Amino acid sequence: MITHVEGRDAPTGDQAGVRRPQQGFARKTALDMARTMAVIVACGFAIFALVPRPDGPAERVIDIAGVLGQAESDSGYSLAAPEVPASWRPTSARYDAGARAVHIGYLTEDGEYVTVAYTDAPHPSWVHRTTWDGRPEVQEGKPVVLQHDGRDWESWVTADSARRSLVRNDARSVLVVGGTATRHDLWELADAVPEWQ
């Protein structure tokens, strides 16, 4: 039996205290939402795990021949790529037209950095920049000059001694070999550079 109370029907008898179940999203509980989120996250992880990815960063291809070709056509001097050990990996190659300079960098087998740079328009500021603001190494008040294959090489070092450079000044050009590698590796790179002229 239903009685009318102030404009609405009020439940009586069997209907009193009985609630009707709510429909749709209203009856979802926090537990249901948590289960749904867990399924979505699990699907996301499954997709992430199944998508193939490269094993490491993509290795850049360094076009040493292209840089040397550009330098030859712009400057007129003849250049060939250094013949370094196969375990050395090229990391950079560039030609600076303003300084008429070529720079080529490598990582040695030990993971140390070495670079060779050449210009036929030497300027003192170029040598300082190329040697990481290095200065000539001095012993007993005199610059250290090393003999290698009948040529004089100045030994340069940075203020923190982290990088060394070997600088060869000829009448018309400057060749710099430097980096964080051992002096042995620097000599190896110096020997690998064909006569650039």
pLDDT category of residue 67 using cuts at 50, 70 and 90:
very high
Nearest residue to 77 via CA among 125, 130, 127, 119: 119
Domains of the chain: 64-192 (3.40.1000)
Q: How confident is the model at residue 2, as a pLDDT?
A: 53
Torsion (CA) 96, 99, 102, 104 in degrees, nearest 10: -70
Q: Could you tell me which of 148, 141, 146, 171 has the C-alpha nearest to residue 156?
A: 146
Which pLDDT score, from 0 to 100, does residue 166 have?
97
Q: Is residue 190 helix, strand or coil? A: helix
What average pLDDT does the segment 86-93 reach?
94
pLDDT of residue 57: 62
94-120 pLDDT, tens digit each: 999 888 899 999 999 999 999 999 998
Do β-strands 135-136 and 151-157 pair in parallel, antiparallel, or remain unpaired? antiparallel
What is this structure's pTM? 0.70
Strands of the chain, DSSP E: 3-5, 8-10, 89-96, 101-107, 113-119, 135-136, 138-139, 142-143, 145-148, 151-157, 164-169, 174-179
CA-CA distance, 130 to 177, in Å (whole number)?
A: 9
- And the tokens for 186? 């620097």
Residue pLDDT, tens place only, 19-62? 555 555 555 677 888 888 999 999 998 888 888 876 666 667 79
Q: Which residue do the tokens 């008040």 mark?
A: 141
Determine which helix (DSSP H) or strand (DSSP E) holds 41, and give its type and residue range. Answer: helix 30-50
For the residues 75-98, what does the mean pLDDT come to?
Answer: 90
Separation between Cα atoms, residue 163 and residue 38, nearest integer Å? 54
